[in-house]
A and B are shown apart, each in its own frame.
Chain A
Amino acid sequence: MHIAEGVLSGPVIAAGMAVAGAGTAIGLKQLDFDRIAQTGILSASFFVASLVHVPVGPSSVHLILNGIVGLMLGWAAFPAILVALVLQGILFGFGGITTLGVNTVIMAGPAVICHYLFGFMIPKKPPISLTAAFGCGALSVFFAAIFVGLALVFTQESFIEVSGAVVAANLPVMIIEGIITAFCVAFLKKVQPSLLPGYPG
Chain B
Amino acid sequence: MIDEPFAAGNSPIHREDPRSRVILATLFSFVVALSQAFATLGAALIFALVLVIAARLDPKKLIKRLLPLWLFLILLWLVLPLTTTGTPLFRIGPLAGTREGIILCAQITLKSNAILLAFTAWVATMNFAKLGQTLDQLKVPEKIVYLLLLTYRYIFVIEAEYGRLLRAAKIRGFKPGTNLHTYKTYAYLLGMLFVQASARAQRVHQAMRCRGFQGKFYSLYRFEAKTADWIGAAVQLAIMALLIGIEWKINSPL
- Which residues does B use to contact A, with CB under 8 Å? 1-4, 25-26, 29-30, 32-34, 65-66, 68-69, 72, 75-76, 79-80, 83-85, 100-101, 104, 107-108, 110-116, 119-120, 123-124, 128, 131, 141, 143-144, 146-155, 157-159, 162, 176-178, 180, 182-184, 186-188, 190-195, 197-198, 200-202, 204-205, 208, 213-215
Contacts and interface: CB of A to CB of B under 8 A. Distances in A.
Contacts, number: 230
Interface in A73-104: 79-80, 82-84, 86-87, 89-94, 96-98
Interface footprint category on A:
35 or more
Contacts of A51: 1-2, 159
A72 interface: yes
A72 B178 contact: no
A160 B190 contact: no
For chain B, what secondary structure do more than half of its interface residues adopt (helix, strand, loop), or is it mixed?
Answer: helix
Contact of B200 (A41, A87, A98): A41
B250 to A, nearest CB: 17
A192 to B, nearest CB: 5
B111 A83 contact: no
Contacts of A158: 80, 83-85, 100-101, 104
Interface in A145-201: 156, 158-162, 165, 176, 179-184, 187-188, 191-192, 195
8 contacts: A7-B111, A31-B147, A48-B193, A49-B193, A79-B147, A80-B151, A98-B29, A192-B198
A161 B83 contact: yes
Please give me the 7 A-B residue pairs with the lowest Cβ-Cβ distance, nearest first: A6-B111, A40-B150, A183-B187, A6-B112, A187-B191, A44-B154, A158-B84
A28 B147 CA distance: 10
